[in-house]
Amino acid sequence: MKFVDEAPIRVEAGKGGNGCLSFRREKYIPRGGPDGGDGGDGGSVFLEGDASLNTLVDYRFTRNFRAETGQGGQGRNMTGRKGEDLILKVPVGTSAIDMETDEILADITEAGQQVMVARGGWHGLGNTRFKSSVNQAPRQTSPGQEGESREIKLELKVLADVGMLGLPNAGKSTFIRSVSSATPKVADYPFTTLVPSLGVVRLQRHRSFVIADIPGLIEGASEGAGLGIRFLKHLTRNRVLLHTIDMAPWDDITPAEAATSIVRELEKFSPTLVQRERWLVLNKLDMVPEEEREARCQSVIDALGWEGPVYRVSAINGEGTEQLCHDLMMRLETMKEEEEANPELAEIEHQTQLAMQEEARQRIEELRLAYRAKKAGKTLEDEDDSDDDDWNEDDYDVEVEYVK
Ligand SMILES: Nc1nc2c(ncn2[C@@H]2O[C@H](COP(=O)(O)OP(=O)(O)OP(=O)(O)O)[C@@H](O)[C@H]2O)c(=O)[nH]1
Ligand SMILES: [Mg+2]
């Protein structure tokens, strides 16, 4: 699942410093010549690729960027100081588009790569420059030029780092609402979320990650029940899965049963996906009387034989969610650092993703064939049987792209 993170910003390069009008004035040198220095160039604005960033969320908070103006020239032929360039750090993969002309100004494909998006104004010339054999005392100077300014749109295709997994109604969308600025629909009935959506969780400047809300999964999904498994495919690209469990369900299913049923479905879908890093998120604890909480949480942990991370939260009032997001951020950063230090790990990750996607593809293909066979059988039995099954092949291979 890709989504396009966008941020419109305004960049303004610095104006060039003006040239100076000045004559040498010294004792005993009655008619000193011109000595007005040139101005300094205005600073330019650059984009620079930064591997540690993965969203454009920071650019939603500050939108105007201005590089420094060049200083004016001075007497004694002193050149003005150049305005400082402004370097805007962006994630690798960012493109910058001029909003007026639709021209692509920059495609940042590597860390450290710099591309200018607004050129600083040229410096003005001091009067010294205008001296000639016929004009020994020019009074002419030139002004510094304006810097370029542009409205640009930054665009980045992002992949979710974290994926939500759980039964319908577990509180996945509520969680995303509470930790990001995304606002997926929340309601007290199953299958509220029908298509995946993404939210950006921003901890602080330059630290953010992307989380995917996918529709709930139910028992039998791998055989096509509910919304089926079509959306599980998206989870194959996430680094950490949050298995969310409703600890105060309305129906008869216990949290422990709910938890194990999801794992069974995952196993059927992709044995590699089930091995992925998964964290348990025990949700809606505000609904459980305090004295029962620990036993209920333990029942889920025991049922799963769980040894991984466990978080006890209440998505609706944000209890425990901050710590969870903090730990997720740390974990994602560590993974990235480890992969940078050891390219072998990155290759293993790549192969794992390919394996999961292949398993997903096969599983979906099996379902497709089963569906076709069923449909063919039906047609033989009864020519008029209307096709009430809502299998739509397009649903299975779509790469959903979200523009926010
Ligand atoms: N009391 C309480 N209610 C919650 C909590 N989290 C979610 N809910 C409620 O549970 C219901 C379902 O929440 P959603 O966020 O829509 O659940 P979901 O997992 O996204 O469900 P689907 O989209 O259907 O898969 C809503 O009525 C929420 O208000 C919580 O921590 N405490
Ligand atoms: Mg939902």
Q: Residues 345-372: what's their mean pLDDT?
A: 86
Share of the chain above pLDDT 70, in %: 91
User: Angle CA(302)–CA(315)–CA(213) in degrees, nearest 5?
Assistant: 90
Share of the chain above pLDDT 90, in %: 57
3-state DSSP helix/strand/coil percent for the chain, to nearest 5? Answer: 30, 25, 45
pLDDT beyond 90 at 204? no
Instruction: Give residue ranges with CB within 6 A of ligand 1.
Output: 166, 168-174, 186-188, 190-193, 215-216, 283-284, 286-287, 314-316
- Give the integer Cα–Cα distance in Å for 228 and 222: 6
Domain with CATH 3.40.50.300 in the chain: 160-375
Q: What is the pTM of this model?
A: 0.78
Neighbours of 86 (CB within 10 A): 20
Contact in structure between 236 and 360 (CB atoms under 8 Å): yes
Q: Residues 191-205: what's their mean pLDDT?
A: 82
* Integer CA distances (angstroms), 313 to 70, 122, 197, 262, 289, in order: 54, 57, 21, 19, 14
| Residue 324 dihedral angles phi and psi, to the nearest 5° | -60, -45
Domain with CATH 2.70.210.12 in the chain: 2-126+143-157
* 263 annotated as a binding-site residue: no
What confidence tens digit (pLDDT) does each residue in 281-334 have? 999 999 999 999 999 999 999 999 999 999 999 999 999 999 999 999 999 999
pLDDT beyond 70 at 401? no
- Give the integer Cα–Cα distance in Å for 64 and 50: 20
* Integer CA distances (angstroms), 87 to 59, 117, 152, 192, in order: 13, 10, 15, 43
pLDDT-based confidence at 399, cuts 50/70/90? very low
| Residue 313 dihedral angles phi and psi, to the nearest 5° | -135, 170
pLDDT beyond 70 at 397? no
What confidence tens digit (pLDDT) does each residue in 134-188 have? 998 899 999 999 999 999 999 988 888 999 999 888 999 999 999 988 888 887 7
pLDDT recorded at residue 196: 77
* 45 annotated as a binding-site residue: no
What confidence tens digit (pLDDT) does each residue in 13-67 have? 999 999 999 998 877 777 788 999 999 999 999 999 998 888 898 898 899 999 9
Out of 165, 173, 174, 245, give the residue to mutate to test ligand 1, the one with the largest number of ligand atoms within 8 Å of its CB.
174
What number does the ligand 1 atom closest to the CA of 186 have?
16
| Residue 182 dihedral angles phi and psi, to the nearest 5° | -70, 150
Q: What is the DSSP letter of 314?
A: B
**160-375 — its CATH code?**
3.40.50.300
Out of 186, 262, 312, give the residue to mutate to test ligand 1, the one with the largest number of ligand atoms within 8 Å of its CB.
186
* 194 annotated as a binding-site residue: yes
Tokens 């194959």 locate to 236
**2-126+143-157 — its CATH code?**
2.70.210.12
Tokens 């993703």 locate to 353
To the nearest whole number, what is the mean pLDDT of the chain? 87
pLDDT-based confidence at 269, cuts 50/70/90? confident
